[in-house]
Amino acid sequence: MSDSDTQEANLPFGELKDEQAPRRRRPRARAARPESEPAGDAGTGAPAAEGTPLDEPPRRSRRRPARQPAPEVTEQGFGEGMPAFLGSPSDSGPSLEAFVAAEEQAPTPESLEPLADLAAGPNVNAGSEDEEGDRLESGQYGNRGDRNRNEGRRQRFDNRFEGNRRDRQRGDRGDRGDRGNFDGNRGEGRFESRRQEEPQRNPLPPGIEIPAINLVELKKRSPAQLLAYAEELGVENASTLKKGDLVFAILKRLAEADVPINGEGVLEILSDGFGFLRTPDVNYVAGPDDIYVSPSQIRRFALRTGDIVQGQVRAPKEGERYFALLKANTINFDDPDVARHRVHFENLTPYFPTEKLKLEVIGTKDVSTRIIDIVSPLGKGQRALIVAPPKTGKTVLMQNIAHAIAANHPDIYLIVLLIDERPEEVTDMQRTVKGEVVSSTFDEPAQRHVQVTEMVIEKAKRLVEHGRDVVILLDSITRLARAYNTVVPSSGKVLTGGVDANALQRPKRVLGAARNIEDGGSLTIIATALIDTGSRMDEVIFEEFKGTGNSEIVLDRRLADKRTFPALDVNKSGTRKEELLVDKATLSRMWVLRRILNPMGTVDAMDFLTDKMKFAKTNDDFWGSMNS
């Protein structure tokens, strides 16, 4: 270690810091001097810095270039009073005052940049921070001397921020086509794309005036009628859409023309808390034309799955996929406030059926419903089973019962539920029955059978809570139990025929929902049960449901083979508590008739009864003929 190094090490920290402070500020590198020019100042003859070659220009590298000596200060007496070990001013480098004076006198390219920007006027790329960042990353600023990189970036960020503020204060942004929608007024361009995403108002074609549209009536139209209506409204590519998508496109077209839309459907609440209004016309299948119901509306009106909601709907906004319920006008055909104060279905008091369902239809040749009225009368709230082997006419018998209920009791809400049936029978039932026909054909999965059944049962329960009388014709309870056996998780306990021990609990709840409510309202379920199918499972299912009903109508295969319809086994059919449905005079005649028919066989008894029915136009005439 040299003497000068030892003396510098013994110097107090404050003095050394004050003297060497100018050295920490590194000046920007300048171009190499020509060989003819001395490295030091010409007037003072200051020596060049050690280790810096005079005949080679500085190379571009990441290493910090050697320090270039500044011109010697001409101020006299600068070195007077300084310690001897520091040497002369020319040996120790420039002072702080000399460095500041040199910076002020020699303008640099960096100091001229703001002036050039002001002289050039508003820059079309001013504020384009992405391009500035690209220049930083590409290294275009890497050759600006030995400026500290981080300090320079912070300074450029500050300059940019100040420049943007000046631009906003100036207000004149110029033509900024490279900024997308942000042209002209900044505040206006920011939301320009959002305004374009909003649905535009599109009036209907000339000559078409629609005051309002009902979604239920629209869905009842055939696909051909919907296609013609969509083409009339100007819906694009209408022929390529399915029926549900076509209805949605028509509704959206009407919403663009500000046509009020009223919707109706049966609420299905999902596990997330919100729900959708399904329609029975598509068998409660989820589709694009379903109406969304928010959780707040569900809590406000105390809605539950199965509620029939009718109200005004609105078109989907940006980011939405479904029409939404805007206002509920009626719930289960009553005022929405009534739904808040209704009693839950399970809390209602069940009782035996006391009001008879009249199945006799005057003026028809069909005698099947008249025979049921005599042999096994049905009442409101009945839980009846039609026990039928295959090909005994159970489907036709259910059609006749549905016609009789629709004709004699128009106030009853009639639902025909077909589970695992053939599609052609579904079409025939829809065209002949004046009521709601819901189906799930045999080519659909078991989960679909279960979902349709539960929707229908929940809908019936909600109507009963409002005091309505509901009749459900279920075909068949056996196939429904098969579907539940497939869907329900295995419990590890299997009964005879492969039936899970827990599989029949849920279909029993479906059939057990039928009851007569003491304070008003009733739910009647007339279900078919299959026997003699050759399946041990069907026999087990029938035995499980055999004692749950309070009325049975048994069909016989021998009568069907002889083409005697209805193929009704008179001796095995009957109703519990039938004395609550008929008067005493009629009850006594029914007992006398059974005494006459009991000794006869099944075939002879049915032949005798049908022959007597042909000579009597009504059941009253038949009872009158027995006295004579």
User: Is 552 in contact with 384 (CB distance < 8 Å)?
Assistant: yes
Residue 79, pLDDT > 60, answer: no
If one compares 618 and 48, the residue with the highest pLDDT of the two is 618
User: CA-to-CA distance for 429 and 424, rounded, in angstroms?
Assistant: 9
pLDDT band with cut points at 50, 70 and 90 for residue 19: very low
Residue 4, pLDDT > 90, answer: no
User: 311 exposed, middle or buried (CB, 10 Å; 0-12, 13-18, 19+)?
Assistant: buried
Distances (CA, A) of 100 to 68, 96, 111: 15, 6, 14
Segment holding 510, helix H or strand E = helix 505-512
User: 148 exposed, middle or buried (CB, 10 Å; 0-12, 13-18, 19+)?
Assistant: exposed
pLDDT of residue 137: 45
pLDDT band with cut points at 50, 70 and 90 for residue 46: very low
User: CA-to-CA distance for 434 and 425, rounded, in angstroms?
Assistant: 15
User: Domains in the chain: how many in total?
Assistant: 2
Residue 161, pLDDT > 60, answer: no
- Among 72-76, 182-186, 223-227, 375-379, top mean pLDDT goes to 375-379
Q: Where are the beta strands (DSSP E) in 433-537?
A: 436-441, 469-475, 515-517, 522-530
Whether residues 451 and 539 share a domain: the answer is: yes
pLDDT of residue 522: 94
Distances (CA, A) of 348 to 121, 303, 522: 84, 18, 10
Whether residues 386 and 300 share a domain: the answer is: no
Cβ-based neighbour number of residue 6 at 10 Å? 11
Whether residues 417 and 502 share a domain: the answer is: yes
Whether residues 546 and 613 share a domain: the answer is: yes
Residue 609, pLDDT > 80, answer: yes
Q: Which spans in 442-504 are helix H? A: 446-465, 477-487
Cβ-based neighbour number of residue 531 at 10 Å? 20
- Among 73-82, 185-194, 402-411, top mean pLDDT goes to 402-411
Residue 449, pLDDT > 90, answer: yes
pLDDT band with cut points at 50, 70 and 90 for residue 446: very high
Query: For the ranges 143-152, 318-327, 526-535, 609-618, which has the lowest average pLDDT?
Result: 143-152
Whether residues 497 and 588 share a domain: the answer is: yes
Q: Please enumerate, by residue number, every residue annotated as part of a binding site.
A: 379-384, 391-396, 422
pLDDT of residue 101: 55
Q: pLDDT tens across 229-240, in order?
A: 888 888 888 888
Segment holding 223, helix H or strand E = helix 223-233
Residue 43, pLDDT > 90, answer: no
Whether residues 328 and 371 share a domain: the answer is: no
Whether residues 263 and 399 share a domain: the answer is: no
Whether residues 410 and 320 share a domain: the answer is: no
Reference 488, options 518, 526, 446, 527; nearest CA is 446
Q: Is residue 290 part of a domain?
A: yes
pLDDT of residue 153: 53
Cβ-based neighbour number of residue 485 at 10 Å? 23
CATH code of the domain containing 421: 3.40.50.300
Q: pTM of the full predicted structure?
A: 0.66
pLDDT band with cut points at 50, 70 and 90 for residue 29: low
Residue 117, pLDDT > 60, answer: no
User: Is 286 in contact with 276 (CB distance < 8 Å)?
Assistant: yes
pLDDT of residue 183: 42
Residue 25, pLDDT > 80, answer: no
Q: What is the mean pLDDT of residues 211-228?
A: 84
Cβ-based neighbour number of residue 430 at 10 Å? 16
Q: Is residue 412 part of a domain?
A: yes
Percent of the chain whose predicted confidence (pLDDT) is above 90: 30
User: Is 402 in contact with 416 (CB distance < 8 Å)?
Assistant: yes
User: CA-to-CA distance for 558 and 569, rounded, in angstroms?
Assistant: 10
Q: pLDDT tens across 303-348, in order?
A: 999 999 999 988 888 788 888 998 899 999 888 888 888 899 999 9
**DSSP helix/strand/coil, 289:** coil
User: Is 376 in contact with 389 (CB distance < 8 Å)?
Assistant: no
If one compares 9 and 361, the residue with the highest pLDDT of the two is 361
User: CA-to-CA distance for 29 and 61, rounded, in angstroms?
Assistant: 12
Residue 57, pLDDT > 60, answer: no
Give 58-97 as a 3 state SS string.
CCCCCCCCCCCCCCCCCCCCCCCCCCHHHCCHHHHCCCHH
Domain that holds residue 240: 213-247+254-342
Q: Which spans in 32-172 are helix H? A: 89-92, 96-105, 109-120, 129-138, 149-170
Whether residues 236 and 276 share a domain: the answer is: yes
Q: What is the mean pLDDT of residues 88-100?
A: 49
pLDDT of residue 102: 54
Whether residues 484 and 393 share a domain: the answer is: yes
pLDDT of residue 60: 57
The last residue of one of the domains, among 300, 324, 342, is 342
Residue-averaged pLDDT of the chain: 75
Q: Please enumerate, by residue number, every residue annotated as part of a binding site for ATP.
A: 379-384, 391-396, 422
**Longest alpha-carbon distance in the chain:** 156
Task: Return the structure tokens found at 616.
Answer: 């009597």
> 261 forms bridges with which residues in the sheet?
213, 313
Q: What is the mean pLDDT of residues 150-156?
A: 52
pLDDT band with cut points at 50, 70 and 90 for residue 440: very high
If one compares 22 and 463, the residue with the highest pLDDT of the two is 463
pLDDT of residue 70: 54
pLDDT of residue 202: 64
Rg (alpha carbons) of the chain, rounded to whole number: 47
Q: pLDDT tens across 247-270, in order?
A: 888 888 888 887 888 889 999 999
Cβ-based neighbour number of residue 278 at 10 Å? 22
User: CA-to-CA distance for 37 and 600, rounded, in angstroms?
Assistant: 142
CB crowding 99-137: b at 16 or more within 10 Å, else e = beeeeeeeeeeeeeeeeeeeeeeeeeeebeeeebeeeee
Q: What is the mean pLDDT of residues 535-558?
A: 88
Whether residues 404 and 539 share a domain: the answer is: yes
CATH code of the domain containing 301: 2.40.50.140
Percent of the chain whose predicted confidence (pLDDT) is above 70: 66
Task: Return the structure tokens found at 627.
Answer: 């006295």
Whether residues 262 and 360 share a domain: the answer is: no
